[in-house]
Amino acid sequence: MRLLSEEWLAERLRLGSALPVVPGATAVVQHEVHGDAGPARYFDDIREGRLTDSRLGVHPTPHAVIRYQRSVELAMLCGEIDAVSGVISGRITVEGDLNRLLPLVSVLQTPAAIEVLRQLNAVTSD
């Protein structure tokens, strides 16, 4: 399935909704992914470490907005980089409430979340 398509986001939601509960890991994150066709926007609603919504568009009140290139999305999917190293290297920029994002870092580093990325990568076409 095509990266950033509605079908891809639905699969991402299906996989991410099964993650273990992590108390306090709750935030709405707006993604702005830049590529040749211009920016694609989607958002994630994460509650207690589980993805509860993920769809194309702009959320009216996200806790944070993260911006990056399409190539970064692909690199994260195949495990070449993680979100933290992306931010440190400047490949990912973040605006908003960083305190809401910090608990999500531990979620992204769990074996379950890494497995979600592996499974999503397996069905993703560029």
How many whole angstroms separate alpha carbon 66 and alpha carbon 29? 7
* Percent of the chain at pLDDT exceeding 90: 95
Q: Are 11 and 85 in contact (CB under 8 A)?
A: no
Q: Among 7, 12, 16, which residue's Cα sits nearest to residue 73?
A: 12
Decide if 52 is inside a domain.
yes
What's the confidence (pLDDT) of residue 36?
Answer: 87
Query: Where does residue 76 rank: exposed (0-12), middle (13-18), buried (19+ CB within 10 A)?
Result: buried
The answer to whether residue 123 scores a pLDDT higher than 90 is yes
| pLDDT band, residue 34 (cuts 50/70/90) | very high
pLDDT tens digits, one per residue of 7-16: 999 999 999 9
- The range of the structural domain enclosing residue 46 comes to 6-122
Largest CA distance in the chain: 38
The answer to whether residue 37 scores a pLDDT higher than 90 is no
Decide if 20 is inside a domain.
yes
Question: Considering the chain, what is the average pLDDT of its residues?
Answer: 95
Decide if 105 is inside a domain.
yes
Decide if 1 is inside a domain.
no
Decide if 116 is inside a domain.
yes
| pLDDT band, residue 61 (cuts 50/70/90) | very high
* Percent of the chain at pLDDT exceeding 70: 100
Average pLDDT over residues 115-121: 95
Which CATH number do you get for residue 77? Answer: 3.30.1050.10
Into how many domains does the chain fold?
1
| pLDDT band, residue 119 (cuts 50/70/90) | very high
Decide if 98 is inside a domain.
yes
